[in-house]
Structure 1
Amino acid sequence: MKSRAETAPSRAPKARTIAELDSLIADCRACPRLVAWREEVAVTKRASFRDQIYWGKAVPGFGPDDASILIVGLAPAAHGANRTGRMFTGDRSGDFLFAAMHAVGLASQSHASSIDDGLRLIDTRITSPVHCAPPANKPTPGERRTCAPYLNRELELLAPTVKVAIVLGGFGWQALMSSLIDGGWDVPRPRPKFGHGARVVVEHPDGRTLSILGCFHVSQQNTFTGRLTSPMLEAILDEAKAAARV
């Protein structure tokens, strides 16, 4: 018989608040491969962090529960969020993202080093379609499906306020489209393709609309090569702010 931690995704639809959902995510042990990897990393550690205690669990979303902007990433980094316990905190991808968010007024400071560093997100929440650090930073489609109830419920709980979703990369784009379909949104067919600067507006039968903006992921593979620059990211963030005010 599976434990409550192993069946946590099935209980996501019953989460009454974002805080309750975050707690459910943090206790999740639904994907054996991901659980084994995140815990192995937390024990072996990176040499530069050998004196630190790693979080080593699934990482919940981060930001206010009444945000109008939702940023959707991919999954926690092994020595970033898997170490610190907070999305995009403690690695170079996060340094790049939070510097841009601070520059446009969506974060209280430009750096993120630990879960208690005082960083606040302004009208913005960050989440991911997979909440555990995956080997080689590549979750499987099956792991994404297992984790999907969390993103589905997060979208439902944010429904009163969220107006814009910024999606970092193609993996998150496909996951968000699937969650929107699960939630009854009218997603065009064929599904809109991901691209940096892509913009899609979807409607819900209850009258809500959601603007979806595509952005290259803030991985070092993109930022170190210049595929994604700070001005490019700041332009997407500014576009999201404008759309959220409509």
Structure 2
Amino acid sequence: MNTIQSLNKKITRCKKCPRLSSYIRDIAKNKVKRFKEEKYYGKPLSGFGDVNAKLLIVGLAPAAHGGNRTGRMFTGDSSGDWLAKAMHRYGFASIPTSQHSNDGLTLHNAYITAAVRCAPPQNKPTRQEMDACFEYIKQEKEILKNITVILCLGKIAYDATCKLYKVKPEKFGHNKLFSYDKFKILTSYHPSKQNTQTGRLTWSQWSAVFAKAKRLTK
């Protein structure tokens, strides 16, 4: 599995987790009212971005009516809006929005992936599901050879990253930086509505993380 294209094809065909496979198919069939006229993607999602990137952004999993609908991570929901806007501001994205998979968005010096590739019920994958999915981010790491900074969006993403890079997890928090010999891990609260609409994550706090990521990847 030596190219990102062949890995992505393998991810798309994955059915290792029966609960998740069933859930994303059901969501794609029984759509929410606001998207009832749209065709859902309804399959596991690969990562996307610049394969020569220094910055790797790790999320939790696709959103049921975001990535699972549009076919691209952080696309078609409020989390994707926050991410695209910040990435565009700091030169990582070509446009400030992420609405659908053919909207022209391209990433510069950044690659986006996730700990889990299928939308999980209530955004809560099981330990077995996370373990089953781990091989995909492990293979991405082998292909994305220029990564020097890993931005983890949420604790599950951080724990997966620590496992991936074989380092001991520290206490998770927003805008924390952990430095190692050949790479750095930067942490952030996830830009979910649960965080952004409650004030746990403000725009200035979110923006500061990307300002730091930009400095670290120059």
Deviations 1:141-188 (A, max 9, x none): 1100000000111111112x111010000011001111112xxxxx24
Are the aligned partners of 1:68 and 1:162 in contact in 2 as well (CA < 8 Å)? yes
Deviation at 1:200, TM superposition (A): 0.8
Equivalences for residues 94-173 of structure 1 within 5 A: 94-159=80-145, 161-173=146-158
Letter aligned with residue 143 of structure 1: E
**Unpaired runs of at least 5, structure 2:** none
Q: 1:232 aligns with which of 185, 205, 209?
A: 205
Name the residue aligned to 1:174. 159
Conserved? CA contact 1:74–1:171, under 8 Å: yes
Q: Say whether the 8 Å CA contact 1:152–1:180 is kept in structure 2.
A: no
CA offsets 1:188-236 (integer angstroms, 9 cap, x no match): 4xx3221112111223xxxxx1110010001000011111122211211
Which structure 2 residues correspond to residues 5-44 of structure 1 after superposition, within 5 A?
A: 15-44=1-30
The runs of at least 4 consecutive aligned structure 1 residues that moved more than 6 Å come to none
**Offset, 1:120:** 0.9
TM-score in terms of structure 1 length: 0.86
Amino acid at match of 2:79: S
**Root mean square deviation, CA, Å:** 1.0
Q: Give the match's secondary structure for 2:180.
A: strand
* Structure 1, gaps ≥5 residues long: 1-14, 182-186, 204-208
The separation in 2 between residues aligned to 1:35 and 1:169, in whole angstroms, is 23
Q: Mapping of 1:41-56 within 5 angstroms?
A: 41-56=27-42
Find 1:220's aligned residue among 177, 187, 193. Answer: 193
Q: When the two structures are aligned, how many residues end up with a matched partner?
A: 218
Q: Which of these two proteins has the greater Rg computed from alpha carbons?
A: 1
